[in-house]
C-alpha cells in the first residue's frame, strides 16, 4: 500500500506523459503521408490512371465531363495515385484532415474556357 501511495504522489506532482492533444499538436514526421487535398485540374489530362491504381476505388475520373472526384472516407492514404499520375497533378498534403460530414468527397470539374468575341457588341 505504501508503494502505491508513493506512485500516486509522484504522478500528482509530475508533468503529464502525453500531449494535451487538441491544444498541442505534434508536427508531422518527415515524408509522412497525409490526405489527398485535390487535383490541379488545369494540368490533368483525365487519363484515369489514378483511378485504376487506387486500391480502395476512391477516385472517379470522368473524361467526358472533365471531372475528378475522390471519396475521402474510402481513401487509405497509400498515395499510389500521386505516384502513378503522369502529370503529377494530384496534390497530397502532409497533414491529416479531420472529416466532419457523413459523405466527405472532393469533386473538381474543369471549367469551360470562354470563347473570345462571343457576346460582345461591336
Report the mean per-residue pLDDT for the chain.
80
How many CB atoms are located within 10 Å of the residue 101 CB? 8
Q: Please determine, for residue 63, whether its predicted confidence score (pLDDT) is greater than 60.
A: yes
Phi first, then psi: what are they for 13, rounded to 5°?
Answer: -100, -10
C-alpha cell at 41: 485540374
> Domains in the chain, ordered, with CATH?
30-109 (3.30.70.3270)
pLDDT tens for each residue of 80-101: 999 999 999 998 887 766 655 5
CA distances from 6 to 14, 21, 31, 114 (A): 12, 28, 43, 76
Q: Please determine, for residue 122, whether its predicted confidence score (pLDDT) is greater than 50.
A: no
What is the pTM for the complete model shown? 0.62
Measured in residues, the chain has a length of: 122
Mean pLDDT (whole number) for 30-48? 86
Amino acid at each position: 500500500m505504501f508503494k502505491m501511495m508513493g506512485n500516486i504522489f509522484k504522478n500528482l506532482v509530475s508533468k503529464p506523459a502525453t500531449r494535451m492533444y487538441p491544444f498541442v499538436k505534434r508536427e508531422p514526421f518527415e515524408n509522412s503521408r497525409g490526405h489527398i487535398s485535390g487535383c490541379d485540374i488545369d494540368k490533368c489530362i483525365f487519363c484515369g490512371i489514378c483511378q485504376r491504381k487506387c486500391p480502395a476505388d476512391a477516385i472517379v475520373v470522368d473524361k467526358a465531363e472533365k471531372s475528378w472526384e475522390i471519396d475521402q472516407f474510402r481513401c487509405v492514404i497509400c498515395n499510389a495515385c500521386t505516384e502513378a499520375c503522369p502529370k503529377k497533378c494530384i496534390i497530397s498534403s502532409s497533414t491529416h484532415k479531420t472529416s466532419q460530414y457523413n459523405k466527405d468527397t472532393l469533386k473538381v470539374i474543369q471549367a469551360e474556357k470562354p470563347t473570345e468575341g462571343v457576346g460582345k457588341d461591336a
